């Protein structure tokens, strides 16, 4: 498996599919007995709760699980060009997770809650509500997942490089 294939596999399995499942499940649970007129305001709380879960747990889980996966799969990243994201984000995963959480909530809140309300989107059907929830999960988990994967690969690359220097030095 190439490194790009590995990235896509991890992005899909560890982030996108997980978030589609969680957010879709929350929507179905929250609206299973809903009999009134479904509005965008009604799904906003559900959408926000799903985004909070995405924003908090995905980076934390990714920063915890991906280094183990990279070690297990024994990827040689010595020829990989480090991501520019490493110069933007702090080195500690806790701070990275906090930044990703805040950015996810801001971007998601503006794109999927504030803009539809400003546009006056009112009554919607369950298909539209569920679709908004799933599309939000896909977009935001793909962005967060990509950042987490790249930062983790940078860390892994630096770690293996330093271990090689200490073993040879």
Range with lowest mean pLDDT among 36-40, 98-102, 157-161: 36-40
For residue 122, the tally of other CB atoms under 10 A from its CB is 12
Contacts 24+ apart (CB under 8 A), 31-35: 31/126, 31/129
Expressed as residue numbers, the domain containing 51 is 3-74+84-157
Residue 43 lies in a domain: yes
pLDDT at 169: 45
Residue 169 lies in a domain: no
Q: Once rounded to an integer, what is the mean pLDDT over residues 28-55?
A: 75
Q: Once rounded to an integer, what is the mean pLDDT over residues 91-120?
A: 81
Bridge partner residues of 123 (DSSP): 39
Q: Is 74 helix (H, G, I), strand (E, B) or coil?
A: coil
Residue 34 lies in a domain: yes
Range with lowest mean pLDDT among 2-6, 29-33, 87-91, 109-113: 109-113
Q: Once rounded to an integer, what is the mean pLDDT over residues 86-105?
A: 88
Residue 36 binned pLDDT confidence (cut-offs 50, 70, 90): low
Q: Number of structural domains, the chain?
A: 1
pLDDT at 84: 92
Query: Residues 6 or more apart from 93 whose CB is under 8 A from it?
Result: 59, 60, 63, 64
Residue 51 lies in a domain: yes
Residue 150 lies in a domain: yes
Residue 59 lies in a domain: yes
Give the phi and the psi of residue 98 in degrees, each rounded to 5: -65, -45
CA dihedral for 105, 111, 116, 117, sign (positive or negative): positive
Residue carrying structure tokens 């967060």: 144
């Amino acid at each position: 498996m190439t490194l790009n294939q590995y990235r896509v596999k991890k992005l899909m399995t560890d982030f996108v599919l997980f978030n589609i499942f969680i957010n879709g499940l929350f929507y179905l649970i929250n609206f299973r007995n809903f009999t009134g007129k479904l509005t965008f305001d009604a799904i906003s709380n559900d959408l926000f709760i799903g985004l909070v879960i995405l924003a908090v747990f995905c980076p934390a889980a990714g920063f915890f699980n991906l280094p183990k996966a990279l070690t297990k799969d024994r990827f040689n990243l010595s020829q990989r060009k480090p991501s520019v994201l490493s110069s933007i984000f702090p080195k500690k995963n806790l701070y990275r997770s906090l930044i990703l959480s805040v950015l996810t909530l801001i971007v998601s809140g503006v794109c999927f809650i504030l803009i539809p309300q400003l546009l006056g989107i009112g009554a919607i059907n369950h298909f539209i509500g569920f679709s908004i929830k799933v599309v939000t999960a896909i977009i935001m988990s793909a962005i967060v997942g990509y950042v987490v994967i790249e930062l983790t690969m940078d860390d892994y690359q630096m770690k293996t490089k330093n271990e090689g220097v200490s073993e040879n030095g």
